[in-house]
Amino acid sequence: MSTTLRVDWPRCQGHRLCHELLPELIALDEWGFPIVTGEVPDDLVELAKQAVNVCPTIALRLQRR
């Protein structure tokens, strides 16, 4: 089973907190909005959960497939 990180674009306001917690998986575009790259490796799932929890606009979510 794999885990992916998704951004809810209408909610995201580019606060950049997710990138600060998880720069290994979340890059920023030229306006400071997150670019999520690929699946979340098992060793980064806990950090991904933290990034989801600190998002002030609840724009991130983890999906298990």
Tell me the pLDDT tens digit for each residue of 19-65.
Answer: 999 999 999 999 999 999 889 999 999 999 999 999 999 999 999 98
Quick check: 15 pLDDT over 90?
yes
| Domain span including residue 48 | 3-64
In 3D space, the residue among 43, 46, 56, 48 whose CA is nearest the CA of residue 6 turns out to be 48
Torsional sign, CA 1, 26, 35, 61: positive
What total number of domains does the chain contain? 1
Please report how many Cα atoms fall inside a 13 Å half-sphere around the Cα of residue 26, on the Cβ side: 25
Quick check: 17 pLDDT over 90?
yes
Q: Where are the beta strands (DSSP E) in 1-65?
A: 3-7, 26-28, 34-36, 60-64
> Which domain CATH number covers 25?
3.30.70.20
Please check whether residue 48 is in contact with residue 25, taking contact to mean a CB–CB distance below 8 angstroms.
yes
